[in-house]
Structure 1
Amino acid sequence: MDKRCVNSEEFVREITRLVVEALQEQQRLERSTPIGVSNRHIHLDRADMDALFGPGSELTVKKMLGQPGQYAAEETVTIRGPKGEMSRVRVLGPLRKETQVEISIADGFVLGVKPPVRESGQLEDSPGIEIIGPKGSVKKERGVIAALRHIHMTPEIARRLGYRDGQYVQTRIEGLRGALLCNVLVRVSEKYALEMHIDVEEANALGVKNGDRAFFVEEE
């Protein structure tokens, strides 16, 4: 047999193998989501923005975030609880209907509050906190939570995956400290981009960073 023919066959087999592997990896990635790691931060309403930074003040964009229209602002505040305080807590924009402080469980130990693990906006029976800005301070009766892990996605992606808004799913983290994450809330909207949000404690435990991926687990 001509040696050139053998080499050609080996070349074709190698190319075929690489194409198949690339297609398999693409299919795998289609059932995954990028990860966004959320450190402590605060969302302000208009009244608290005025009290903390001055009447009519506006947030200054520092960095755009993964979700369309969402950004980290240049502005920061200090939050103070019964036991301690934390400075340079980043304000996220745009302004919201109600002020919400998102911290980790460990942050709660430092501040002396017990944040419930909640979906964003569910502030009933959550602890309050004092918020201190450059122009004044406010004492909130509620609003401190530890964010429930969740995934933002568009309706198109939700249909492809067979998910619905408000559903709880499982995702798998790969790597040395990988794990199966249960009770991941699905949030569906045309305004969203695909991204799973976990807090910094979860990220440290799993050994992941912004941009790493979590894989959807098919439940029977």
Structure 2
Amino acid sequence: MRKELPIALSNRHVHLSKEHIEKLFGEGYELTKMKDLSQPGQFAAEEKIDVVGPKGTLKGVRVLGPARGSTQVEISLTDGFKLGVVPPVRNSGDLAGSPGVKLVGPKGEVELKEGVIAAARHIHMHTDDAKEFGVKDKDIVKVRVRGQRGLIFENVLVRVSPNYALEMHVDVDEGNAAGVKNGDMVELIKE
């Protein structure tokens, strides 16, 4: 059974709905692809916006594409201190009851009532990878990081889809605590 997989650090970013793209960048605006991300069909856009909270601003936050059904701001807990919000640790798309912020673009602003989260650590797996690792969608596993700052990440959600590429995602705070960098190999632990 396979045990090792790559890890990647996810820096602060924003997923925008089509409506919010147009409010921030102009009517009919389309995001400009800067580079593809590891997950098929996902990309880092050239566009950046400012995220404004009650206590501070995160300037130049990268927008990821394509457009989504709902706008979602993903930040670290440390970013939350700067903004003056406490982002709940949540799975992507679980936005109910999360704090809101103001988004500022070159052509307008959007006042979000909710939508700010610290993304829960998770693993993207293609269906073929899931078979090799002996896991299924929504399983919760542990992941061991070796090295000087080695640790075991608990409560790691496995997300399985034929549209995913194998990779574990943690935020910058978690990655720095473990001393990992993009592409380092980590070990999945099934219990």
TM-score (norm 1): 0.85
Which of the two has higher C-alpha Rg?
Answer: 1
Query: Aligned match of 1:127 in 74, 99, 107?
Result: 99
Determine the C-alpha separation between the residues in 1 that align with 2:3 and 2:166: 11
Question: Where does residue 113 of structure 2 map in the other structure?
Answer: 141
Question: Where does residue 195 of structure 1 map in the other structure?
Answer: 167
Question: Where does residue 57 of structure 2 map in the other structure?
Answer: 85
Report the Cα offset of residue 36 of structure 1: 1.2
Q: What is the SS of the residue equivalent to 2:35?
A: strand
**Bigger helix fraction:** 1
Report the Cα offset of residue 201 of structure 1: 0.4
Aligned residues: 191
**CA offset digits 1:70-124 (Å, max 9, x no partner):** 1110000000001111110000011100000000001111101010000000001
Determine the C-alpha separation between the residues in 1 that align with 2:101 and 2:116: 7
Q: What is the SS of the residue equivalent to 2:54?
A: coil
Question: Where does residue 69 of structure 2 map in the other structure?
Answer: 97
Query: Aligned match of 2:9 in 37, 42, 50?
Result: 37
Report the Cα offset of residue 218 of structure 1: 3.4
Report the Cα offset of residue 160 of structure 1: 2.1
Determine the C-alpha separation between the residues in 2 that align with 1:159 and 1:218: 13
Q: For the aligned residues, what is the CA RMSD?
A: 0.9
Question: Where does residue 60 of structure 1 map in the other structure?
Answer: 32
Percent pairwise identity: 55
Runs of 4+ in 1 over 3 A off after TM superposition: none
Question: Where does residue 50 of structure 1 map in the other structure?
Answer: 22
AA in 2 matched with 1:56: G
AA in 1 matched with 2:32: T
Q: What is the SS of the residue equivalent to 2:187?
A: strand
Question: Where does residue 218 of structure 1 map in the other structure?
Answer: 190
Whether 2:123 is the aligned partner of 1:151: answer yes
CA contact (8 A) 1:36 1:66 kept: no
Determine the C-alpha separation between the residues in 2 that align with 1:48 and 1:78: 13
Structure 1 residue runs without a partner (length 5+): 1-26
AA in 2 matched with 1:188: V
AA in 1 matched with 2:184: D
Which piece of structure 1 moves more, 142-151 or 62-71?
A: 62-71
Question: Where does residue 23 of structure 1 map in the other structure?
Answer: none
Question: Where does residue 167 of structure 1 map in the other structure?
Answer: 139
Query: Aligned match of 1:186 in 152, 158, 175?
Result: 158
Report the Cα offset of residue 34 of structure 1: 0.6
Q: What is the SS of the residue equivalent to 2:181?
A: coil
Determine the C-alpha separation between the residues in 2 that align with 1:162 and 1:216: 10
**CA offset digits 1:132-182 (Å, max 9, x no partner):** 000000100000000000000011211222211111101100110011110
**Bigger strand fraction:** 2
Q: What is the SS of the residue equivalent to 2:123?
A: strand
